[in-house]
Chains A and B, each alone.
Chain A
Amino acid sequence: MKALKVIGKVMLIFLPVIAIWVFLAAFPMNYMDGEYSLYNQTKDYIYGETTLEPSDIIILGDSKAKSGVLPSRLSESCFNLAQGGSTSVEAYYTLKNYIEHMGIPKTVILSESAYHFSSFDGFWSRDIYFSFLNPKEACEVIDKAGELEEEAFLNSNGEQGKLTLLEYRIKSPTKYMSALVNSFKEDRLTINHSAYEDMVNRKGFKTFVSWWPTSGEYDMEHLTILRTLDYYYRKTINLCIENGIEVYSLNMPLIATTYEECENIWRPFSEYFIQLKKDYAGFDNVHIDTEFASYDEKYFDDADHLNEDGAIVYTDSLKEMILGEVEQ
């Protein structure tokens, strides 16, 4: 009886902690930042948890791909599953889960910028934070990065591998209170619902305006292709090959000036794709682009991302390329 009383008292004292923790775990749409609904909608779609039909063409890649390809303009059956800050890691698991739950698409368009070959970027801050990857998938990535001696790149923000993973998994307030406090300033539930709806209506298309003035590649001194990201890029292509999917590895257009100023990045990046093309030369359904198109500045929202006009121009050129090849 005395023990029960003590337990009751402790529960009463820690009631606010319990209540906040439950809220964090149960109502992410109420406090997560705007990008959560983008990841969440993609996750819902690839796991077959929406009423949306499967698509023949899916787009995988980073924010440049998300803002660069207009699904409704490309095809009637197309969905843009690219994510801001994502790398080939997310591309692979997105495709894997899509095949598992929605079936095999006919065509995959794959596009990652140079920056997303040299940084895990949103692995912790987006994939794990939003629970986009499940624990098994996250552990696979951590193990692979460990095996290839790239933990330092994966954990560059002071994260500590699987221990940190657990903190995110149990929705520890140590990881999510920032978002909750920031949600006091704006109605994040409405913002998230609206962004989610927008994702559904525009089939995953979204324009971006970065807060930084220059391209992600602009600040890089030289290009370092991380072995883990190369591994997952190839794994994604291999998954397409195994399932008979037509796969296009493409490079999103750049502003002409950026292209000129970052030649130290584009040249080796182009060489990487030339090698990749050689490696997959025997596969007819694998199309690897080794060139970089440059567009006028007016087609961009910022240093990296195409605006809607730019996306129209690029999607039309893509349509011509894909349909042309399909017709052959």
Chain B
Amino acid sequence: MNFLSLLFFTFFLVLFILYYVLPKKAQWILLLAGSIVFYFVLSIPAVLALGLETLIVYTAAKKVREQKGLVLVLSLILIILMIALKAVPVKLISSLGMSYYTLMLIGYLVDVYNETVEPEKNYARLLLFAGFFPAISQGPINRYPALASQFRIGHEFESEKIKKGLIRFGWGAFKKMVIANRAVAFMAAVGANEKAAGSIVLLCLILMPLNLYADFSGCVDMALGIGQMLGIDLPENFRQPYFSRSIPEFWRRWHITLSAWMKDYIYYPVMMSKLVKKFIKAGGKEQKKSRTKFASCAALMVLWIFMGLWHGTGWKFLFMGIYCGIVFILTYLLEPVSKKFDESHEKLTRTPIWKFWQQFRTAFLAWFPTIMIGVASFSRFLNYLVRIFTDFRIKKIFDGGLLKFDLNEIQWILLILGFLAMLVGSVIEYNHRETITDLVAKQKLPVRIIIYWFVLIMIMLSLSIANTEFVYAQF
């Protein structure tokens, strides 16, 4: 069920009314029923897969503290199953949403094992945690203690929270409909045209990260908005990633919940494992530093390869993981050099130009992985590069050639306007360290009305472009 469909609006309206009419104790049951209905509409086999995986984890969680190897074995089985289902299109067991809830359930299992969380006694509550409908198909990846505790308490009808939820939803819809849908239409048209000039292909490649950010963060904004309207806070997944000044910072701002999950459940466990400890110890005091660095690099590579495979099993995702791993490791290894440079050139490194250069450099380095998600295959990416270098024809951008790729002049103007609005919103969020939702909600009514009207008119005008599925729903 797409968040931007008439079916979803009807579904949510009914659920919303019932949610605040029902006794507070029954709210979580309604959410569970609603989540099953939501997921059922998406895919019937997916509901069964979710129920089964939750049951396995629910049963294992009760025994995981006694049988210590269980957590590792089961986690590996679930991960392999999740990746295998991406590679083999098994119709019987749908992998839809599996990437998200598998990580959430593994996280829960590890937390139970580490005794930071008590095993859930009620299977239905664990099922709601794994399958909570706003986050089921595209995240954010929730942690059990934070989310489950919110299902245990009743939620009052709070108009302020609902208002903020609506604004957040509207802002997400704006990003998806005004920017992402248009960019996708253009990218698809370029992808379908083998004779597109290199200049147009380059523009398409430039638009890919923009589209991915608008699509994915828009979807998460909608998920967070829906949660807010139900009184449930979901974790932030983006914090203006394209203003990051280094690659590690970029990954702390992009798909935050996935990066944090990888760090907590892959990187740290690998680093704390007996094998790694033994390896570091074996080198003695002299080699401790270098061996720790080496182990850290190896753990980072494992993490990034897994991150790549989490997105899919094609070569492009493997390359994406390896590329990110190399860039991340190089940044890590060069950190002392970079720090030294910053200290010795303080005057330069404090200027806005230097800051902009760092942001541009980071955005450029982060460009490749987003392209890998956007292009159909690695060979298609190579084909694009060949066209850029052998058949550039810059005049095609200006002589009307650009308008032959599904977007006419008006659609381009609306896309640019939408992009500028998103940029302004991001700059304001970055400078105020607050979400745009909270900032808008604080404004006086006339200012709010102008913002609402702009967003609504832009969304209305974007109904002229076909609504596409969310990019991250495939992962």
Given contacts A181-B410, A181-B411, A185-B408, contact A16 B463 (CB under 8 A): no
Give chain A residues whose Cβ lies under 8 Å from the Cβ of B414: 181
Assign chain A's interface to a size class. 10 to 19
Write the nearest CB–CB distance from B157 to chain A, whole angstroms.
Answer: 13
Write the nearest CB–CB distance from A249 to chain B, whole angstroms.
Answer: 39
Q: How far is the CA of A20 from the CA of B457 in the complex (A)?
A: 9
Write the nearest CB–CB distance from B402 to chain A, whole angstroms.
Answer: 16
Q: How far is the CA of A167 from the CA of B7 in the complex (A)?
A: 13
| Cβ–Cβ contact B453 & A180, under 8 A | no
Would you give the 0/1 interface string for A180-217, flagging 1 where the beta carbon is closer than 8 Å to chain B? 11101100000000000000000000000000000000
Interface: B449 (CB within 8 A): yes
Q: How far is the CA of A74 from the CA of B410 in the complex (A)?
A: 45
Give chain A residues whose Cβ lies under 8 Å from the Cβ of B449: 12-13
Give chain A residues whose Cβ lies under 8 Å from the Cβ of B452: 13
Interface: A161 (CB within 8 A): no
Q: In residues 395-427 of chain B, which contact A (Cβ within 8 Å)?
A: 408-411, 414
Q: How far is the CA of A178 from the CA of B453 in the complex (A)?
A: 19
Given contacts A173-B463, A180-B464, A181-B464, contact A16 B411 (CB under 8 A): no
| Cβ–Cβ contact B461 & A16, under 8 A | no
Would you give the 0/1 interface string for A9-28, flagging 1 where the beta carbon is closer than 8 Å to chain B? 10011111100100000000
Q: How far is the CA of A17 from the CA of B457 in the complex (A)?
A: 7
Write the nearest CB–CB distance from A199 to chain B, whole angstroms.
Answer: 27
| Cβ–Cβ contact B461 & A177, under 8 A | yes
Write the nearest CB–CB distance from A16 to chain B, whole angstroms.
Answer: 5
Interface: A174 (CB within 8 A): yes
Give chain B residues whose Cβ lies under 8 Å from the Cβ of A9: 445
Q: How far is the CA of A182 from the CA of B6 in the complex (A)?
A: 24
Interface: B42 (CB within 8 A): no
Q: How far is the CA of A184 from the CA of B410 in the complex (A)?
A: 8
Closest A residue by C-beta to B166: A13
Write the nearest CB–CB distance from A178 to chain B, whole angstroms.
Answer: 4
Contact of B461 among A14, A15, A181, A185 (CB under 8 A): A181
Give chain A residues whose Cβ lies under 8 Å from the Cβ of B411: 181
Q: In residues 131-153 of chain A, which contact B (Cβ within 8 Å)?
A: none
Would you give the 0/1 interface string for A158-173, flagging 1 where the beta carbon is closer than 8 Å to chain B? 0000000001000001
Q: How far is the CA of A174 from the CA of B463 in the complex (A)?
A: 5
Give chain B residues whose Cβ lies under 8 Å from the Cβ of A177: 460-464
Closest A residue by C-beta to B463: A177
Interface: B271 (CB within 8 A): no
Give chain B residues whose Cβ lies under 8 Å from the Cβ of A173: 460, 463
Closest A residue by C-beta to B7: A163
Q: How far is the CA of A16 from the CA of B453 in the complex (A)?
A: 6
| Cβ–Cβ contact B460 & A16, under 8 A | yes
Q: How far is the CA of A20 from the CA of B458 in the complex (A)?
A: 12
| Cβ–Cβ contact B460 & A178, under 8 A | no
Write the nearest CB–CB distance from A61 to chain B, whole angstroms.
Answer: 32
Interface: B456 (CB within 8 A): yes
Give chain B residues whose Cβ lies under 8 Å from the Cβ of A181: 410-411, 414, 461, 464
| Cβ–Cβ contact B410 & A16, under 8 A | no
Write the nearest CB–CB distance from A186 to chain B, whole angstroms.
Answer: 11
Give chain A residues whose Cβ lies under 8 Å from the Cβ of B464: 177-182
Q: How far is the CA of A88 from the CA of B411 in the complex (A)?
A: 37
Write the nearest CB–CB distance from B277 to chain A, whole angstroms.
Answer: 58
Give chain B residues whose Cβ lies under 8 Å from the Cβ of A178: 463-464
Write the nearest CB–CB distance from B119 to chain A, whole angstroms.
Answer: 45
Give chain B residues whose Cβ lies under 8 Å from the Cβ of A16: 453, 456-457, 460
Would you give the 0/1 interface string for A217-242, flagging 1 where the beta carbon is closer than 8 Å to chain B? 00000000000000000000000000
| Cβ–Cβ contact A20 & B410, under 8 A | no
Give chain B residues whose Cβ lies under 8 Å from the Cβ of A12: 449
Counting chain B CB atoms within 10 Å of each CB, the highest count among A16, A20, A178, A182 belongs to: A16
| Cβ–Cβ contact A185 & B409, under 8 A | yes
Write the nearest CB–CB distance from A30 to chain B, whole angstroms.
Answer: 16
Give chain B residues whose Cβ lies under 8 Å from the Cβ of A179: 464
Give chain A residues whose Cβ lies under 8 Å from the Cβ of B6: 167, 174
Closest A residue by C-beta to B465: A178
Q: How far is the CA of A237 from the CA of B246 in the complex (A)?
A: 76
Write the nearest CB–CB distance from A160 to chain B, whole angstroms.
Answer: 10
Give chain A residues whose Cβ lies under 8 Å from the Cβ of B462: 177
Q: How far is the CA of A14 from the CA of B455 in the complex (A)?
A: 11
Q: How far is the CA of A167 from the CA of B464 in the complex (A)?
A: 15
Q: In residues 93-134 of chain A, which contact B (Cβ within 8 Å)?
A: none
Q: How far is the CA of A174 from the CA of B449 in the complex (A)?
A: 23
Write the nearest CB–CB distance from B416 to chain A, whole angstroms.
Answer: 15
| Cβ–Cβ contact A185 & B410, under 8 A | yes
Write the nearest CB–CB distance from B168 to chain A, whole angstroms.
Answer: 15
Closest A residue by C-beta to B452: A13
Contact of B453 among A15, A167, A174, A184 (CB under 8 A): A15
Write the nearest CB–CB distance from A230 to chain B, whole angstroms.
Answer: 33
Q: In residues 275-326 of chain A, which contact B (Cβ within 8 Å)?
A: none
Give chain A residues whose Cβ lies under 8 Å from the Cβ of B461: 177, 180-181
Q: How far is the CA of A184 from the CA of B414 in the complex (A)?
A: 12
Write the nearest CB–CB distance from A76 to chain B, whole angstroms.
Answer: 45
Would you give the 0/1 interface string for B446-475, flagging 1 where the beta carbon is closer than 8 Å to chain A? 000100110011001111100000000000
Write the nearest CB–CB distance from A257 to chain B, whole angstroms.
Answer: 28
Would you give the 0/1 interface string for B272-311, flagging 1 where the beta carbon is closer than 8 Å to chain A? 0000000000000000000000000000000000000000
Q: How far is the CA of A59 from the CA of B269 in the complex (A)?
A: 80
What residues make up the interface of A, taking CB atoms closer than 8 Å to B? 9, 12-17, 20, 167, 173-174, 177-182, 184-185
Q: What would be 14 A-B contacts, judged by CB atoms less than 8 Å apart?
A: A15-B453, A16-B453, A17-B456, A17-B460, A20-B460, A177-B461, A177-B462, A177-B464, A178-B463, A180-B461, A180-B464, A182-B410, A185-B409, A185-B410
What residues make up the interface of B, taking CB atoms closer than 8 Å to A? 6, 408-411, 414, 445, 449, 452-453, 456-457, 460-464
**Contacts beyond the supplied A14-B456, A15-B453: 6 A-B pairs with Cβ under 8 Å:** A13-B449, A174-B463, A177-B464, A181-B414, A181-B464, A182-B464
Shortest 9 CB-CB distances between A and B: which pairs? A177-B463, A178-B464, A181-B464, A177-B464, A16-B457, A13-B452, A16-B456, A16-B453, A174-B463
